[in-house]
Structure formats: C-alpha cells, structure tokens
Structure 1
Amino acid sequence: MKTFLRPLVLAALLTGCAAQHPDSRVELTLAALNDLHGYLEASAFEERKAGGVDALAATLQAWRTDDPDMLLVGAGDMIGASPAMSAMFADEPTIAALNLLGMRATSVGNHEFDAGRVELLRQAKGGCTSPRAEKACQFQPSWDGAKFSYLAANVIDTRTGETLLPAYRIEEVKGVKVAFIGTVLKDAPELIAAASITGLQFIDEAQAVNRLLPELRAQGATVFVVLIHQGGTSKAKYDQQYCDDLGGDIADVVKRLDPSIRLVVSGHSHTGYLCRVDGKLVTQAEKFGHMLSRISLVVDRKTGKVVDASARNIVVEPGKYASVPEVDALVASVRARSSAVLNRPVAKIAVPSISRTLMPDADESPLGQVVADALLAASGKWGAQIAFTNTGGIRTSLDAGAGNVVSVAQTQAVLPFGNELVVMDMTGGQIATLLEQQWDGNEPDKRGLLQVSEGFTYTWDTGKPKGQRIVRDSIRLHGLPIEAGASYRVAVFNFLAEGNDGFVTFRQGSNRAATGVRDVDALRNYLVRMEQDKKLAGAQDAVPRIIRIK
C-alpha cells in the first residue's frame, strides 16, 4: 500500500499554521494522534460523531496542501481494546490504515502488548506466525507489517539488555533533523497480563529519554520530540491554548526531561489538552481519532534549536474534506468482510442500553453488575461463589439495536480483550485484604472499584484511612458474614488473577482452575440464558451491592 501525499486544491489553511518567518527560521508541522484503539469508524464525541480513519485521511490530505512535509506521529494505543471489526482481524486493518495515513512513528502503548510481545512484533514487522492464528492474516492472505516505526525507549528485553523495539526515529525535514523518541508509561506492567510481557523491563520514562540525547546529537539531530504513552488531566477545554494546570503522572515526567526537549506528545488518559509545563508544550488529542493535534515548531536554522512551539486540537469531522479513495476502500472492505459475523444477533435485553456509568452516589454501574453476574454464571461448574471484574475491562456500555436485540459486535465492544476466566480459592481474610487494595496506588476515581456479583455485599467508609476503609463485619455472601479463615471460590479474569491493576492478593489464590472460557463468551451466554428464562438483562433497576458511608 502506498502512502497518500497528493495535494488538493482546497481552502484548508488554518490561521497561524503557515506563518512566514525570517530566512533564518523554518517552520516544521506535525499532526499527532493518540489512543486510536482500532476505531476505524467515526464514534460519539460530545453531541456528534467524530473521527474514523476515512475522515482522518481526508483531514490530513487537506492539511498537507498547506505543508506537504507535515509528519503524522502517535503516542501509543493505536491498536488494542479495539472494536470488533478491527479486533477480529488482529488489528491488521487499523495498522494498514495508519500506513495509508502516512504515520511515521508512534510510541508503543500498554494496549499494544495485549496479545503479547510475539504478536506485537509480528504486527509491527509482518508475517503470519501468530499466537492468534484464528485472526492473523485472515483479512489478507499475507501481512507485511507497519510501514511506520513503533518506538519503545524504556522497554528493555532482559535477555539482551537492548530495547525490544527501536528507541527513536530521526527524520530530516526542511533541512532539520528531528528525533522522535517513544516511551510507554513505566507502570505499564500493572495494566498488562504478566504472561504477555515476560522477560521485559519497563524503566523510568524521563531517564530513558534523557540518556539518548548525546547519541541523537552525534547523529546530527537538533530537535527532540517525545512521544509518550502517559497522560494527565486539565480543567481546560480540549482546544484551549494553553493550560498551566496539567496534573497526573505526565507532569512529573515532563519536569524531569532535558530542557532541550520543547515538545511532548502524550496519550493514555484519553483527554484533550494543550498545556505548558516548564517551558515545554504538552499535547494530547483525546481518543478514538476524534481529534488531531496540529503542531508547529519554529526552528532557528543557524542553531537548529526550537524557538517557538504551538499547537491546536482540531476535531476530525466526517465529510468536511474530500475523501481519500484508498482509505475509503479499505474501510468498506473491512466493513463488508466483518458484517456477516458481527451483525449476528445474540439476545434481547430489556433496555436500549445497559450503562457502564456509575449509578448516582454508588461505586457500581448497571453493566458492571451484569458482567460480574455473567462471570459467576459461567464459572458455576468450577464451584465459583463470587465473581469480581475491574471497571477498566469493561470498555463501553452495552448498546442494543432494533427491538433491544444485542449483536455480536455490541458484546465484543464491551469486552474486547479476550480475557479468560480463572477460578481460585481465597480465604475470607484474603478477600478483605483484596477489598482494601482498591485504594492502594491509583485512586478509584482513576481505575474504579471492583464490580461484584449478585449475593456479595459490603460497606466501606470514606472517612477512614487507607487500609481501614472496609467495615469488616459487613462483608457478606447471600446475607451470611464472610469468615476470615473459611475458603471461598472466586472467579476473575486472568488479567486480575495475575495480580494486575494493583490487586496483588489475587496471586495468593490457590487451587486454580483455568476454565478456558472467554469473557465475551461468558457475557453472551448469560444474555441468552436470561432471555430464555424470561428475565431479560436490564429488566430491573440495579441496586448497589457496595454501600458507601460518607
């Protein structure tokens, strides 16, 4: 596939992006994307639809009329946790689309590791030998890989001591050598199944970047851009120039970067912002291709240094610009190939949508309860009594189609990871410790409390310190107190069973049974059974199982 670069005669110039500068200066322009997550089609943004790789392609083609040398770069999670039409083909269609868009480089994100290092390397470099043989090379008979660079300066293969993927890519633009350095958040192992990253070490992001600068300067690079899959938050609107309140983990990383780095393109937190931190411009373009960051770097030709950095976050509007036939054809092909499978009906639910949004003044969502109940039902033959699921594993609300009938695609969108259910023994004491861990590390406003299955209840006190928030005698199973020394069968995703997301007590579970049941199959089977029993999912208002004392 060839990268489109042909210009269109369009009045697509944006104020300030084609500014004239003295002869001693040159303007470099970038378009930045993060957290696409395989969203080939437009999706909901505010009160409208935005994104879609066809609209991204059209927008970039129009912008390149202004500057044919514009580079497209990314900040990770281009794939993984993807809608079914991309996921069912091992995300190869999304990478193919990025090839057509002219992506040059992106940092690796935590979700690029969802299917393991072997699969990531295959997706990046090409080939059909895959741990997911049922998905790999099913869209096309062969796979040539990404035409862009996946970068990971802080992901070390412990066997070789080298980075798993290239640490950087140098591009010469308008006579200036620009080094793009990519990293993923150092805490990525907390978000990835341990089996997927065996033998890998994730080191500090800022240290990984700073130590490369002498090597990059020796190769003639004078402009340094960090592409980092790490993020933060700001109270400023996504297109406000410029916030000074950037918070979260990214702020600390940026403050420790070498002063010669003037631009940081970030991701991970799915937030749109344009901020300044210690003289550095920090951008993020929300998620799912809803927007692009259009960035300008003014460089002094004599010194090679950046003298000004500015950016705008621009919503990608479907239909605004003339289309790119190659990309339109790719999307149409994926849609046609996947529709027969994805449109197949699964079951009827009671409402048009079962929401993943937390209930008012509660720590649970209606869908969180449904998914936990589905895991419990699927694990019954292994003796499961309690099921837990993490909120991050539930990616979107369960939306139904006509007649409130849910399709294969709609269930896949809810649980896209392909986690398998694990059943284990845990003591009542271990369960109590586990519940306290909900406030260790990341606060629950970031990761949410565990969603629990029917019959399991407890109370927690917001006024108590960490480690003492659970009211111990409130932990009950079908109304009976959980006994500290008694054993209970617990069902969870394999991701949690490995102690990820900070829930390390799951590692202490004994008598483990690997059920082989996938998360989405458990959900589908549960919805079907509920319909057969004439108790449609969502028929009753969700009642909190977790009681919060304020």
Structure 2
Amino acid sequence: MKFSPHSLAVAAALIALAGCATRPTEGTTEINLVAINDLHGHLEADKFTYAGVGEKKERTVQAGGIDTLGAALQAWRKEDRELLLVGAGDMIGASPALSAMWADEPTIGALDLLGLQVSSVGNHEFDQGRIELLRQQKGGCASPRAEKACKFDGAWGGAKFDYLAANVIDANTRKPLLPPYRILESKGVKIAFIGAVLKDTAEVVASANIAGLQFGDEAEAVNRLLPELRKQGVGVFVVLLHQGGRTAAEFDKQYCDDLEGDLVPVVRKLDPAIKLVISGHSHKGYLCKVDGKLVTQAQMGGHMLSRIKLVVDRQTNQVVDVSARNVVMEKGAFGSDPRAEAYLAKVRQRGNAELAKPVARIAVPAVTRDAKGGDESALGNLVADATLFGGRPYGAQIAFMNTGGIRATLETGEGNVVSKGQALAVLPFGNTTTVMNLTGAQIRALLEQQWVGDKAETRGLLQVSEGFTYQYDLRKPAGQRVLEASLNGIPLDDNASYRVAANNFLAEGGDAFPMFAKGTNRAETGIRDIDSLNAYLARREQDQKPAGLAPAQPRIVRVR
C-alpha cells in the first residue's frame, strides 16, 4: 500500500508518542482505552479540516470511515490485546443516508465489528423513541419505522455493545431504562464504565419520543452508584457522559484549562475518585483538566479517536495517573482492515442503487446551509418552503424550520440533479409535519423566543417560508425585539389566527420554542419532511422553476 508523505509523518509521530508514553512502575498496571463519540452513522470518510498545536495553517484531509477506524484499532490492539473501545453517545441519529435508510442498523453492526464494548446513550439515540432504541439494543423487527427496520440484513439481533444511562428513569417503574453501568476487566483490573446523557435531553428531543422518561442530574446519578460499585471490588471509575463543553485550545493540546459550557459544573460535582470523564455532544476535540479530572472529547463523525492511558496502583486499586491524546483518523495512515473494508463495501452495494435514484434537477450545483453572516440560508429557505408545500393541503400559510434539523448542504450530481441520498442527507431524522393555528401575537412571541436573555444570544434563527417576513432589532429589550412582521405584504394581526406548519419536533416545543406547543386545531399530517422536500423539488422542476436560488429579497431583516 502506498502512503502519502503526510500519512508517513502521522505514523512517525504516533510511534514517537508511543515511545514517550508513561510506563507503569512496579506495582502498577497500565490500562489502554480508545474512545469515540458522536459518530452519527458516518460509515464513510469525509473532508475534515483541522490544525493541531503549533500548526499555523489548517489542513484538509479525508478522515474517518469504519475502514479507517478499523485499521487504527487493529494496529493499536497489536500493542495491547486488552485495549477497550468505549463511546460517549450519539453513535446513531442525524446520520448520512447510507445508515439512516436502514434504521442505522449498518452503523450498529459496524460498531460491533470494531469491538465497541459500551457507550453512554446520547440524545440522538432517542430520536425515534424508546421503543426503537430498545429494539436497536435488544433486537427484533417491531419498529415505528417498519419501512426501514430489518431491511438491511434480514432479521435484526441487536447491538452486541451495551448502551448505558444512569440518569434516565422510567417514570412508571422508577427503574433505569438502560443499565447504568458495566464493569469490564483489563489486565486483571475491574473498571466501571458509568453512562449518562445530558439532563436537558427533553429540550432537544421530540417529547412524544421520550414520554414517560425522566432525565435526572448527571453527577448525582453517577455519584450514588459508587458505593454499590465499591462493594463489587471496583476502584477504577470512568464516566461516559454525553454532555459537552467548548475551549479555544487545539484538539491535541495537553492539557487545556479553559473548558467552558454545561459539562463543567457536572464534572466539578463528580466524586473525587473519578479521574476520567469521556464526553460528547458538542462535537469539539479537546483534552482538558477540570478540578484534577481529565476530560476528553474526540470531535465527531469518526474524524478522530481519543487514546487514553490509565495507570492503576494494584495495591490500592486506584488510578494514580491518566493521560490522553486525540488522533486524527486520516484515511490511509493506519494500513488496512480487510473485515471493515468488506463490511463497508457490502453497505455501499446495498444502499447505493436506491440512493442514486434521481429526485429532481435544481438551479445550482449545491444549496448551502451556511448563512454567510446573515440570519437565513438558501437551504433554510428551501426547506421552509418545502414544509409549507407539504402543509398546504391542511391550510398552511406559514412554515418554520429549525437550523439544527438541517444536517448537510444539499449537493447535486451531473446536471445539478439531486439524488435520493443527497436529499436524505439534508433531512435524516424522518420528522413529520404538524399544522396548527397560532395567532399573530403568538407568532410574535414565538419569534421572541429565538433570543436568550439580555445578551440576545440565539440558538440559530428559525428559517421561514416564502411570503413571511419580519424585522428585528437586538438593541431593543427582551420581548420587544421583533418589529414589523407580515404575510404576503400584509402586517400580521395580533388577534387573527394563522395556519402554521413545522416538523413534529418543533411542534412539540423542541429546541426551546414552547410557543409551538400552544398551537390549536393541530393536524398531525404524517407527511415526512423528506417526502415534502422531494415532492417540492420535483414540482419546481415540473413547473420549469427549478429550486435552489436564494430569494431576491431577504425574509429576515436585522435593523442596525
């Protein structure tokens, strides 16, 4: 196999780092872990741009893919056959079409092939509801998305690895939905891996999918397990926490001390005996210290893996040292893994024929979700218009779309033709459309919910459909920022009722937009967002008005 000069440099650096690694002293044992988080069904490599410590210029490489991950793990297991592969959630959900079209079963199968042992559950594991999550874990074909389940490889036997969730409780039974922990052994040392998901999961998952579940405080759920684990002879505890932070530090800086975000107070509340927290959710690569604990995250999509070493004192059964580094999974840098390559080839063969089918021709080679410094994007406008199109038979006049639900730029092939796979990459959740009545005053209040507090921070402005426009001024106090709002040039009447369309996630108050939940005369259409998008693109082509061009006039205007 041929290697690029950069690939050889990466390999040399890894060898050098391995030679400098901390060696266990007499009476201690070294445990090797590899951690992955937020894979999101990325079975194939894609572009990844990064710069490490001391690198002034960013580089762009092909990174990730289960074949690359398999090759790296194969090489590292030659160094330590007892290496443990663990995860920090969102292994599935918001996945590319190659995984999403088969209910993410190919990704779970790939993780089994890679030897994943345990993973905390992430918020995206709840995207299709508890029934589907438990089916994916335990097996079977009874699924809320029967058109996808068990269609990839026949009968589904379930994941071989364990999903863990110490802080997710069934409100009826008062028992954990999933195991809170699993004890694994390496070099004769028992290690307890404790899983938890962000306590605010209810704010980012459709409420119908988590009905009857309670999400408790992450640190409290973890800490109360330690006495039980100690009775089982465990003195080494690793927290797999699907909650994230942010830092200005490079992904490979050892070690940052400026970690911020919701993750930090959780780590500070953890028992001092916990020396390692493997995190996820924020899609940021970092290696940081918080109150003496090492906190890691390995970006997302399989672009990197975290290599972690625990040094354990055999006499005290406690961790005396922990170290880590994040390694970019550059394609071709780790040799090959024939089993992973064969598996990926099988998935591609099964999926590509269906995904390659054309949907429609559009006006441009790609429609981007990048707002380019503004408040709306060409793709946001397009998806909102498609949502309105799907809701028209139910009287829809206005449609809204959350930016977080748009997962990728809409790419095209030859002749600007969009394929099924390219469309599905944009809207992989399988959300359905809900149409409801909101008054003009409620719509204004809804728009005010886009900003948080006096600082006017936004989670990403809602994208709006054609014909609806408004202005806003961030210099105004909270609750008074929305100025003019109109539909087809006519100002909204606070007392009039309007038919509003949104995906079911938003319609239930998701993404912290509770005003949607107050809508009346609700019509649960059952129309999938991806079907509305495909039908809208096809209609525009049929009408000889191909979609994709940005509107001549902005729909959202900021007054400065």
With normalisation by structure 2, the TM-score equals: 0.93
Cα deviation, 1:285-334, whole Å, max 9, x if unaligned, reads 11100000111111111212111111111111222223222221211111
Q: 1:301 to 1:178 in 2, by over 3 A?
A: same
Is 1:415 paired with 2:441? no
Cα deviation, 1:315-354, whole Å, max 9, x if unaligned, reads 1122222322222121111110111110011111222211
CA distance in 1, matches of 2:159, 2:15: 30
Q: Which moved further from structure 2: 132-141 or 362-371? A: 132-141
Query: Corresponding residue for 1:230?
Result: 243
CA distance in 2, matches of 1:528, 1:440: 38
Query: Corresponding residue for 1:37?
Result: 40
Task: Determine which of 197, 219, 237 is the counterpart of 1:184.
Answer: 197
Query: Corresponding residue for 1:4?
Result: none
CA distance in 2, matches of 1:277, 1:425: 48
Q: Is the 8 A contact 1:461 1:549 kept in 2?
A: yes
CA distance in 1, matches of 2:457, 2:295: 23
Matches within 5 A, 1:286-297: 286-297=299-310
Query: Corresponding residue for 2:480?
Result: 468
CA distance in 1, matches of 2:535, 2:457: 31
| Structure 1 SS opposite 2:107 | helix
Query: Corresponding residue for 2:274?
Result: 261
Q: Which moved further from structure 2: 374-383 or 12-21? A: 12-21
Counting matched residue pairs gives 538
In the TM superposition, residue 231 of structure 1 has moved relative to its aligned partner by 0.4
Cα deviation, 1:28-84, whole Å, max 9, x if unaligned, reads 111100000111101121122110011101001101111111111000000111111
Is 1:119 paired with 2:139? no
Q: Is the 8 A contact 2:451 2:458 kept in 1?
A: no
Equivalent AA in structure 1 for residue 477 of structure 2: P
Task: Determine which of 37, 44, 52 is the counterpart of 2:65.
Answer: 52
In the TM superposition, residue 133 of structure 1 has moved relative to its aligned partner by 1.7
Query: Corresponding residue for 1:320?
Result: 333
Is 1:136 paired with 2:149? yes
Q: Is the 8 A contact 1:13 1:63 kept in 2?
A: no
Q: Is the 8 A contact 2:86 2:119 kept in 1?
A: yes
Query: Corresponding residue for 1:428?
Result: 440
Q: 1:521 to 1:155 in 2, by over 3 A?
A: same
CA distance in 2, matches of 1:14, 1:81: 37
Cα deviation, 1:168-219, whole Å, max 9, x if unaligned, reads 0111211211110000100001111111111110001011111111111111
Query: Corresponding residue for 1:69?
Result: 82
Identity %: 62
Query: Corresponding residue for 2:17?
Result: 15
In the TM superposition, residue 446 of structure 1 has moved relative to its aligned partner by 6.5
Query: Corresponding residue for 1:509?
Result: 519
Q: 1:256 to 1:90 in 2, by over 3 A?
A: same
Query: Corresponding residue for 2:56?
Result: none
In the TM superposition, residue 16 of structure 1 has moved relative to its aligned partner by 4.2
Task: Determine which of 207, 211, 221 is the counterpart of 2:234.
Answer: 221
Q: Is the 8 A contact 1:377 1:526 kept in 2?
A: yes
Q: Which moved further from structure 2: 34-43 or 18-27? A: 18-27
Query: Corresponding residue for 1:530?
Result: 540
Query: Corresponding residue for 1:370?
Result: 382
Q: Is the 8 A contact 1:292 1:313 kept in 2?
A: yes
| Structure 1 SS opposite 2:254 | coil
In the TM superposition, residue 513 of structure 1 has moved relative to its aligned partner by 1.2
Equivalent AA in structure 1 for residue 221 of structure 2: A
In the TM superposition, residue 141 of structure 1 has moved relative to its aligned partner by 1.8
Is 1:518 paired with 2:528? yes
Equivalent AA in structure 2 for residue 448 of structure 1: G
CA distance in 2, matches of 1:450, 1:308: 46
Query: Corresponding residue for 1:453?
Result: 465
Query: Corresponding residue for 1:487?
Result: 497
Q: 1:82 to 1:442 in 2, by over 3 A?
A: farther
Query: Corresponding residue for 1:356?
Result: 369
Query: Corresponding residue for 1:273?
Result: 286
CA distance in 2, matches of 1:407, 1:43: 18
With normalisation by structure 1, the TM-score equals: 0.95
| Structure 1 SS opposite 2:539 | helix
Q: 1:286 to 1:99 in 2, by over 3 A?
A: same
Query: Corresponding residue for 2:94?
Result: 81
| Structure 1 SS opposite 2:320 | strand
Unaligned stretches of 5+ residues in structure 1: 1-9
Q: 1:236 to 1:446 in 2, by over 3 A?
A: farther
Q: Is the 8 A contact 1:366 1:542 kept in 2?
A: no
Matches within 5 A, 1:206-217: 206-217=219-230
Q: Is the 8 A contact 2:250 2:286 kept in 1?
A: yes
| Structure 1 SS opposite 2:111 | helix
Task: Determine which of 165, 187, 190 is the counterpart of 1:174.
Answer: 187
Query: Corresponding residue for 2:28?
Result: 25
Equivalent AA in structure 2 for residue 278 of structure 1: D
| Structure 2 SS opposite 1:501 | coil
| Structure 1 SS opposite 2:511 | helix
CA distance in 1, matches of 2:15, 2:201: 39
Cα deviation, 1:229-270, whole Å, max 9, x if unaligned, reads 110111111111111111110011111111111111110111
Q: 1:346 to 1:501 in 2, by over 3 A?
A: same
Query: Corresponding residue for 1:163?
Result: 176
CA distance in 1, matches of 2:302, 2:87: 11
Equivalent AA in structure 1 for residue 170 of structure 2: D
Is 1:549 paired with 2:549? no
CA distance in 1, matches of 2:18, 2:73: 17
After superposition, the CA RMSD in angstroms is 1.7
| Structure 2 SS opposite 1:228 | strand
Q: 1:443 to 1:59 in 2, by over 3 A?
A: farther
Query: Corresponding residue for 2:417?
Result: 405
Equivalent AA in structure 2 for residue 522 of structure 1: S
| Structure 2 SS opposite 1:465 | coil
CA distance in 2, matches of 1:420, 1:527: 18
